[in-house]
Amino acid sequence: MVNFAERMNDIKASDIRELLALVNKPEIISFAGGLPAPELFPVDKIKAATDAVMDENGRAALQYGPTDGLLRLREQIADRLLAKNGIHTDPEHIIMTAGSQQGLDFAARLFVNPGDYVLMESPSYLGAINAFKLSQPRFKEVPTDDGGMIMEELDKILATTENVKMIYVIPDFQNPSGRTWSLERRKKFMEIVNKYEVIVLEDNPYGELRYKGEYLPSLKSMDTKGLVVYLGTFSKILAPGYRLAWMCASKEIIEKINLIAQAAVLQTSTVTMMVVSKFIDMFDLDAHVETVRAVYEHRCNVMMDAMAKYFPKEVKYTVPDGGLFTWAELPDYIDTKVMATQALAQNVAYVPGIGFFPNGNNHHCMRLNYSCMPDERIEEGIKRLAKVIESNLK
């Protein structure tokens, strides 16, 4: 038997991955993934940007580069952070990573010792739970309602828990719940965080995909004490295949992340950074995001209409203001993991909610994604799923 490190004890294949292996068949209507719609990738423009990089600067593009990442791209990101997220920053406070997923790993390595507490919304992003587990923390789930994290509960937990090293949050169109925090909650959150001086990891991959309601400032834009580490990514606004994202934080934190990045990967891919930077110089990224946003908004509406029409009244679900997901809560006697097999028999897939709870004690929820299916399939899939749910009602 192979003698693996202790940190592997709690690491196992996720339900999503096991499920996605099954749902690649064309007949399956899949609400299980969280992928951007591939037909929207700007392939021709990316080809033009790549050609331009190779023609103008091919040798530099293929060479090693600094660990922080391409300066020009970090300038472009700093401009975008101000325009889109109200964050006043500069390239010195930004480091590039291979997806936000790597940022989650780096943050946990920087702040969390084995046995320390990480607080998360209940539910929260499965990929973050797994990334953090490698640092062997204990988790506390902060209760949520339709408006996201409940601040009184957070205050209570912080008042009574020692060694809380990090609070991980997704205030905009959360994965998996689709919920968004109000401005009041954001302000209250920062008040509490400032009181206890805890590090916050604000993950915002979906912020630019807003379908309704007002723009709300990021937590990072309200951070006066350098406590918030902000994660942004090109995955949902351009293409996840590039694995290109960034962390924005205080200089002190970025310098330490730089050391971790040097040890882990040396740097993020030079050619990727140069092509994305060129894409932003040559084309209108905002216009591209608007195209994508409009398609997802439409698909979201199709799913919401279908749920309103077909789902039994016992099911409660999020009507999201943006992002890629909705979250349904079924009566608590229904186990959505068991039900997933019944749904698959009807060629419909979703992700059972259990994996999104770090302490794993919730069986009656499910995450549904609407970004990847055409209208008719969304409607048909929800109709079939509604029947499966009905057959489980008491």
Our CB check for ligand PMP shows the closer of 36 and 91 to be 36
Residue 205 engages ligand PMP in binding (rule: CB under 6 A) = yes
Identify which range of 98-106, 160-168, 280-288, 376-384 contacts ligand PMP by CB under 6 A. 98-106
Our CB check for ligand PMP shows the closer of 241 and 374 to be 241
**Size of the residue set binding ligand PMP (CB under 6 A):** 14
Query: Nearest distance from residue 338's CB to ligand PMP, in Å?
Result: 25
Please give the residues from 143 up to 172 whose contact with ligand PMP meets the rule CB under 6 A: 170
Please give the residues from 10 up to 49 whose contact with ligand PMP meets the rule CB under 6 A: 34
Exposed/middle/buried for residue 377 (C-beta within 10 Å: 0-12, 13-18, 19+): middle
Provide long-range contacts, Cβ within 8 A and 24+ apart, for 333-340. 333/364, 333/394, 334/363, 334/364, 334/389, 334/392, 334/393, 335/363, 335/364, 336/363, 336/364, 336/365, 336/366, 337/15, 337/363, 339/388, 339/389, 339/392, 340/19, 340/366
Query: Nearest distance from residue 181's CB to ligand PMP, in Å?
Result: 14
Identify which range of 9-17, 95-103, 326-334, 349-357 contacts ligand PMP by CB under 6 A. 95-103
Please give the residues from 289 up to 318 whose contact with ligand PMP meets the rule CB under 6 A: none
Q: Which residues contact 47 (CB under 8 A, 6 or more apart)?
A: none
Query: Nearest distance from residue 204's CB to ligand PMP, in Å?
Result: 8
With DSSP H G I counted as helix, E B as strand and the rest as coil, what are the percentages for the chain, rounded to 5?
Answer: 45, 15, 40
Single residue of 100, 180, 318, 326 touching ligand PMP by CB under 6 A: 100
Identify which range of 61-69, 111-119, 232-240, 333-341 contacts ligand PMP by CB under 6 A. 232-240
Q: Which residues contact 11 (CB under 8 A, 6 or more apart)?
A: 130, 133, 134
User: Does residue 191 sit in helix, strand or coil?
Assistant: helix
Our CB check for ligand PMP shows the closer of 89 and 177 to be 177
Map residues 243-262 to x or -, x wherever contact with ligand PMP holds by CB under 6 A: --x-----------------
Cα 353 versus chain centre, distance: 15
Q: Where are the alpha helices (DSSP H) in 86-235?
A: 99-111, 126-133, 151-160, 183-196
Our CB check for ligand PMP shows the closer of 107 and 388 to be 107
Residue 320 engages ligand PMP in binding (rule: CB under 6 A) = no
DSSP one-letter string for 248-262:
E--HHHHHHHHHHHH
The residues binding ligand PMP (CB under 6 A) are: 34, 99-101, 125, 127, 170, 175, 203, 205, 233, 235, 240, 245
